[in-house]
Amino acid sequence: MTVLVDGHSLTIDDVVRVARGGERATIADECHESMHASHAVVEECLSRGEPVYGVNTGFGKFSSVAIGAHDLRRLQRNLVVSCCTGVGDPFPTDVVRAMLLLRANSLVGGRSGVRPVVVEGLLEMLNGGVHPLIPCQGSVGASGDLAPLAHMAIVLLGEGEAEFRGERLAGGEALRAIGLEPLVLEAKEGLSLANGTQAMTAVGSLAVHDARLLADTADLVGAMSAEALEAVPDAFDACLQESRPHPGQTLSARNLRHYLRGSELIDGAEHGRVQDAYALRCMPQVHGASRDAIEYAASVVAIEVDSVTDNPLVFSETGRVVSGGNFHGQPVALAMDVLGIAVAELADISERRTERLLNPALSGGLPAFLVREGGINDGLMVAQYTATALVSENKSLAHPASVDSIPTSANQEDHVSMGTISARQASDIVRNAQYVLAIEAICACQAIELRDHAPSPSVTRVWDLVREQVAFLETDRPLAPDIERVRRLVAEGSLLSAAGSTE
């Protein structure tokens, strides 16, 4: 399949398919005309000698410096080169692929003044598997993601470094490997490539996708723990949820009812309790609040995916070139901070359910740490330590980056978003939460096997899948490989697929 790039119909799912599924992307036919028209406006402004920011002026604090016609190409190349200041580990390949796609999608709509060859070059790198090495640190999120996007763009110029078929190559060598000539930038094209929010939006798109999957998985794994702990199902009653009809709460409760349907563990419980601790009883309310927050973040990212975020923008319909601040990452920054907090809460309550499964004072008759020969064996004791460490780490990562701003460019850029930091933190929180839910799933499967009654059909299928990867813990063994295997099941959506549809 091929994803069509037209500047207005790209979705988060499309981004994931290209970034992780290796699908190709191509420019919609009608976009060539709009890009030509946009570039013509830039050339017309130059012919009239009008000062246009970043076209025939310097950048940032140098915006008052006029640039002569003979230096316009040099100006654009210098911008890209000077912004290659990123540090730290390179972004993962899926993020880089998402960045290439999103930058092409932002430029293709004819608001940026670039020639079609610029967008074609980005997509040829994407489709050919040339992935620029882009350091993940160094962006303040306004004026956009300058450093990350410059490290992406410089490969298009035949410089920098890229990964191709598992090998690290010089940019020019990587281009030659796919038969692509280095690009010589025309007026505004360097600015259009480097100025935008595509690094934070790439990370955010993938994090939103993973967070949505995680919210569904939290309901499923929570249902497994509810069975193992013989929970009171009244807390998930539909009438109760209708009395407080938050969308996420309603959906989580519905999922829990579905996963628990037909459970002998629930139906045959004889503990005499009328209600459970909050980690069980309040799953719809806690999971649901996170769901609603994740959907807020998703709505922001969905808009950003199809937005034009460089500066200035070119309106060929009227011949105007308008300077503004669409590069500012504040919408994404706030959304990513909310996303991180929401997912951190899914991990937080999951760890509390794991504690109840392992603690003989709270588990309703299960052996301590879910091992038959305790003492000589520690069982799953230390797996909970890992969960608590990850939950604690998430608390630090969930501190909102968007509340900070350090002025740049001699105070010309006097409020910045830190949106790429927000997105990276949210992504890290999602990965940590995947591990926490994996640990809960392992513990719940162990506990269910120690009970006398059968779980629901949905949970039985999930238990079967986990047991294909992780054996029952009879005596102590290294648990790290087990946790990693189940985390992959969580991240890939395999647990949910095994459980079956909740519709």
Catalytic positions: 53
Between CA 499 and CA 487 the distance in angstroms is 16
Q: Under a CB-based contact definition with an 8 Å cutoff, are residues 222 and 496 in contact?
A: no
* Phi, psi angles (nearest 5°) of residue 315: -115, 95
For 410, residues 6+ apart whose C-beta sits below 8 A from its C-beta are 60, 61
Q: Per this entry, what is the length of the chain? A: 503
**What 8-state DSSP symbol labels residue 92?**
P
Q: What residue has token string 């295997």?
A: 485
Q: Annotate 166-212 with DSSP letters as a single string.
A: TEEEEHHHHHHHTT-PPPPP-TTHHHHHHSSSHHHHHHHHHHHHHHH
Q: Under a CB-based contact definition with an 8 Å cutoff, are residues 162 and 131 in contact?
A: yes
Interstrand relation of 135-137 and 130-132 (parallel, antiparallel or unpaired):
unpaired
Q: Under a CB-based contact definition with an 8 Å cutoff, are residues 254 and 303 in contact?
A: no
The vertex-180 CA angle with 175 and 185, nearest 5°, equals: 95
